[in-house]
Structure 1
Amino acid sequence: MRAFVTAFFLLVSPAAADCIGQNLLSQMPADQRAALENAAAQVPFHEGNFWTATRADQIITLAGTYHLEDPRHAASMVALAPSISAAQTVLVEAGPDDETALKDLLARNPSVMILTDTTLPEVMDPTEWARLSEALLQRGIPPFLAAKFQPWYISMMLAIPACSMPIGTGEGLDGMVIKAAMERGIPVRALEPFDTVLSIFDKLSRDEQIAMIRSALALEDRAADYTVTLADSYFEGQSRLMWELMRAETLALPGYTPQMVAAEFAAMEEAMILSRNRAWIGVLEEAAAKGPAFAAFGALHLPGAEGVAALLQARGWTLSPLRFQ
């Protein structure tokens, strides 16, 4: 599950992109990279971050995003600015008011993030807890504090490499889109309720969440390389290729079988990506019925037979790569 957590949270979680590592794809033998590229090419819309969806006189601009701060976002924003300015509504995964709503929820119900019946050292192998403690210290998180966090939240922390900590103040592409819309007086709406992702994690058993931590620790020593590779893949319009790389890397971990990897990837993709994609389509179409809409969300939501692009296409929308002048 590390593969999903890494790819998902680095595409949808804010952090400072300050890692120095190697691009694993560029270092890979040609035949291995070709195999990954072939696997990625099997799904619809596997390339490209920006699309235009049209149906009759309706239009939706789709922007697949990367939430880490990166200077390359500046060029994307220049190119996207006309589409944002023309929109009647801007849709994002988390709207401007969602952070306040989340804080209110945590204040009312701390168990969303805090273990109330045990601690991580009590439910983890001592050796694993020692490794986790060291990984958390490298991120500036005291183990005694982290010991009470829900395991899924620890996984999210591990998905942000130590080289990206502390979390920076810079904005990823979603934040830049929100800022641009608000400066133009364009309404910004959330694609889903603010607690959607929390409810998904709540459905995972504690053992499943601990397994996520275990898988994350297995790849901890290459976190900077994964971050660099993911960023480069995103800006090349190849986020699905990174997904296939992480699938291959997970398969190479000790104790993992093809059946285990297939099952874990399918379960997490359904929970974290596909189910949300399906729920978003009605929100997107409702917004487009009122005028041009602009939607920004994690790039991993675009590709695939049940990616946002293919789901819209199946409902009569024409998808075209967004051409920048």
Structure 2
Amino acid sequence: MKIRVLGFLGLMFCFFGEAGFAQVPSENALLWEISKPGQAKPSYLFGTIHLICPADFVLSDSLKSAVTKSGQIALEMDMDDPGMMMTMMKSINMKDGVELKSLITESEYNQLNRFYTDSVGMGLAMLEKAKPFVLMGPLFHAVLACQPQSYEMTLVELAKKQNMEVVGLEALEEQMAIFDSIPYKEQAKIIISLINDRPKARKEFEEMVALYKRQNISGLYDLTMKSEYGLEGNAEIMLFDRNKKWIPRIQKMIGEKPTFFAVGAAHLGGEKGVIALLREQGFKVRPVL
């Protein structure tokens, strides 16, 4: 009897495991159509890369068409919010008055300060109490060796031209709170590592851009998961938890009007990615090529 029960449980595990795996997107595509029975018009999901050199930036006709067919654009955050900068200033600092100098050695601090002064054009004086991951933005500008372009800001401009509302899947306060969940020392360590390993970091970013241009979201997901510069050990906090939290918000927005969703491409792939989670909720998510 025990063998039969265990065999049955094994079959059930295989069945549900295969069913879950079937939801994972295998196609190479950055733009996806979201539909469901009873839904008058489809919505769309687009995977962005937050910073990219202009030579690699592409705004396809299919993407422009999807935006035109939508009633609003939803980004990870509302990039069109006039109060965004003020909110950022309120939530940028580490808790309990922690300062960067207490997280790294004196030589590392001097190295970091020198790098920011020489390569970014600003010292650390104004960022002494800022959550270390905040430093990563200007640092990536230096790693890219170009004046980067942003898909998010381009979509905001498209929305303005079409008098379309821009909304966010999460509030800025929510996103900044994530950086309180990851030890500040760990964040600072990643920043130092990026500076010390710039050739390696640049190579990884080039690999990421190459995968992005091939629209290989599975490859992007895999590379993001093994990256030493952000997600290592933090995938649950920075990726999976947010994906899960977004799904009911996406459902609500789709129920109100056809929406063009744009989130980082790493959020699309994998068993816990946005596409798989939407499919689990009964949505048909198909690539737009």
TM-score band, normalised by shorter chain: 0.7 to 0.9
- Structure 2 equivalent of residue 92 of structure 1: 75
Equivalent-residue separation in structure 2 for 1:305 and 1:212 (angstroms): 27
Q: Give the AA of the match of 1:220.
A: R
1:38 corresponds in structure 2 to none
> Identity percentage over the alignment?
21
- Rounded to whole Å, the distance in 2 between the matches of 1:159 and 1:60 is 32
Deviation at 1:89, TM superposition (A): 2.4
Partner of 1:183: 161
| 2:241 is the alignment partner of 1:282 | no
The C-alpha deviation readout for 1:24-45, integer Å capped at 9, x for no partner, is xxxxxxxxxxxxxxxxx99922
Q: Secondary structure at the match of 1:56?
A: coil
Report the CA distance between 1:72 and its aligned residue.
Answer: 4.4
Deviation at 1:299, TM superposition (A): 0.7
Number of aligned residues? 264
Query: Partner residue of 1:268?
Result: 234
Q: Does structure 1 retain, via aligned residues, the 8 Å contact 2:247–2:274?
A: yes
Alpha-carbon distance in 2 for matches of 1:215, 1:246: 16
Name the counterpart of 2:7.
Answer: none
Q: Root-mean-square deviation (CA), in Å?
A: 3.1
- Asked if structure 1 preserves the Cα contact closer than 8 Å seen for 2:275 and 2:285, the reply is yes
Q: Aligned match of 2:139 in 155, 158, 168?
A: 158
Counterpart of 2:111 in structure 1 is: 131
Q: Counterparts of 2:169 and 2:105 in 1: how far apart (Å)? A: 39
Provide the residue aligned with 2:179 in structure 1.
201
- Find out whether 1:293 has 2:259 as its counterpart: yes
> 1: CA distance between counterparts of 2:149 and 2:35?
29
Structure 1: gaps spanning 5 or more residues: 1-40, 254-260
49, 62, 73: which one pairs with 1:66?
49
Q: Cα gap change, 1:146/1:184 in structure 2, threshold over 3 Å: closer, same or farther?
A: closer
Question: Structure 2: 5+ residue runs without aligned partners?
Answer: 1-20
CA contact (8 A) 2:101 2:109 kept: yes
Please point out which of 88, 110, 123 is paired with 1:142.
123
**Residues 47-56 or 312-321, more deviating:** 47-56
Q: Residue in 2 aligned with 1:80?
A: 63
CA contact (8 A) 1:89 1:287 kept: no
**Other-structure match for 1:216:** 194
SS in 2 for 1:142: coil
Larger radius of gyration: 2
SS at match of 1:207: helix
